[in-house]
A and B are shown apart, each in its own frame.
Chain A
Amino acid sequence: MKILVLVKQTPDAEADIRIAGDGESLLAPENGWRMNRFDEFAVEEALRIREALPGSSVDAISVGPARVSAVLRRALAMGADKAIHILPAGDQDLFPGDTASLLASFVRDCSYNLVVAGVMSDDAMHGQTGPILAELLGIPCATAVVEERISPENGRITVERELEGGLREGLELPLPALITVQSGINRPRYPALSHVLRSRSQPVLTVPAAALPEAPRRELLLGLFWPAPSGKALFLEGTAEQKAERLAEIFSERAFL
Chain B
Amino acid sequence: MSMEIVVVAELAAGLPAPVTIELIAFAKALRGDQTAPVCVFVLGARIERAVALLSEIPDVAVTGLAGEALAVYSAEAWKRVLAPRLADIKPRFVCIPHDATGADFAPGLAALLGAGCLTAIESARSDGLEVIFRRSLLNGKIQAEVASRAETTVITLLPGAYRVGGSVRINPGKQGGEMSEKRLLAAQAKIIPVPEMALVSRPLGLLSAPENDADLAAAEVVVAAGRGIKKEENLSLVRDLAALFSRSAVGGSRTVCDAGWLPTRLQIGQTGRTVTPRLYIACGISGALQHLMGMRGSQFIVAINSDPRASIFQIADVAVVEDLLVFMPLLSDACEKLKKGRLSL
**Same assembly:** yes
Which residues of A line the B interface, CB within 8 A? 11, 13-14, 17, 19, 26, 37, 95-97, 100, 122-128, 130-132, 134-136, 140-144, 146, 158, 160-174, 182-184, 216-227, 230, 233-236, 240-241, 243-245, 247-257
Q: How far is the CA of A201 from the CA of B11 in the complex (A)?
A: 54
Name A122's contact: one of B138, B158, B205, B244 (CB within 8 Å): B138
Pairwise interchain contact B160-A254, C-beta atoms closer than 8 A: yes
Return chain A residues, CB-CB under 8 Å to B119: 126-128
Residue B322 at the A interface, CB < 8 A?
yes
Pairwise interchain contact B149-A161, C-beta atoms closer than 8 A: no
Which residues of B line the A interface, CB within 8 A? 73-76, 79, 99-101, 103-108, 110-112, 114-120, 132, 135-150, 153, 158-161, 163, 200-209, 212, 214-215, 217-218, 220-221, 244-246, 276, 278-279, 297, 300, 302-303, 313-323, 326-327, 330-331, 333-335, 337-339, 342
Return chain A residues, CB-CB under 8 Å to B333: 244
Pairwise interchain contact B104-A143, C-beta atoms closer than 8 A: yes
Return chain A residues, CB-CB under 8 Å to B335: 248, 251, 257
Pairwise interchain contact A134-B143, C-beta atoms closer than 8 A: no
Q: How far is the CA of A254 from the CA of B221 in the complex (A)?
A: 12
Pairwise interchain contact B117-A250, C-beta atoms closer than 8 A: no
User: Closest approach, in angstroms, between the C-beta of A33 and any C-beta of chain B?
Assistant: 13
- The number of residue pairs between A and B whose CB atoms lie closer than 8 Å in the complex comes to 261
Provided the pairs A96-B107, A245-B334, A256-B221 are in contact, do residues A13 and B138 lie with their beta carbons within 8 angstroms? Answer: yes
Provided the pairs A166-B209, A219-B148, A243-B320 are in contact, do residues A171 and B204 lie with their beta carbons within 8 angstroms? Answer: yes
Pairwise interchain contact B207-A220, C-beta atoms closer than 8 A: no
Pairwise interchain contact B338-A257, C-beta atoms closer than 8 A: yes
Return chain B residues, CB-CB under 8 Å to A128: 107, 110, 117, 119
Q: How far is the CA of A168 from the CA of B292 in the complex (A)?
A: 33
Pairwise interchain contact B143-A244, C-beta atoms closer than 8 A: no
Given A170-B206, A219-B147, A251-B335, 16 more contacts at CB 8 Å? A13-B276, A122-B138, A125-B138, A126-B119, A132-B117, A141-B75, A144-B100, A144-B104, A164-B99, A173-B200, A221-B146, A222-B145, A243-B327, A248-B337, A250-B302, A256-B278
Return chain B residues, CB-CB under 8 Å to A183: 215, 217-218
Provided the pairs A127-B103, A172-B204, A225-B144 are in contact, do residues A257 and B339 lie with their beta carbons within 8 angstroms? Answer: yes
User: Closest approach, in angstroms, between the C-beta of B135 and any C-beta of chain A?
Assistant: 8
Return chain A residues, CB-CB under 8 Å to B120: 125-127
User: Closest approach, in angstroms, between the C-beta of A238 and any C-beta of chain B?
Assistant: 10
Pairwise interchain contact A17-B208, C-beta atoms closer than 8 A: no
Pairwise interchain contact A170-B205, C-beta atoms closer than 8 A: yes
Query: Closest residue to A133 on the B side, CB-wise?
Result: B111
Name B111's contact: one of A135, A160, A168, A248 (CB within 8 Å): A135
Query: Closest residue to B119 on the A side, CB-wise?
Result: A126
Query: Closest residue to A250 on the B side, CB-wise?
Result: B318
Return chain B residues, CB-CB under 8 Å to A100: 111
Provided the pairs A164-B99, A184-B215, A235-B319 are in contact, do residues A17 and B153 lie with their beta carbons within 8 angstroms? Answer: no
Provided the pairs A143-B103, A219-B117 are in contact, do residues A169 and B141 lie with their beta carbons within 8 angstroms? Answer: no
Pairwise interchain contact B207-A184, C-beta atoms closer than 8 A: no
Pairwise interchain contact B115-A218, C-beta atoms closer than 8 A: yes
Return chain B residues, CB-CB under 8 Å to A244: 327, 330-331, 333-334
Pairwise interchain contact B246-A169, C-beta atoms closer than 8 A: no
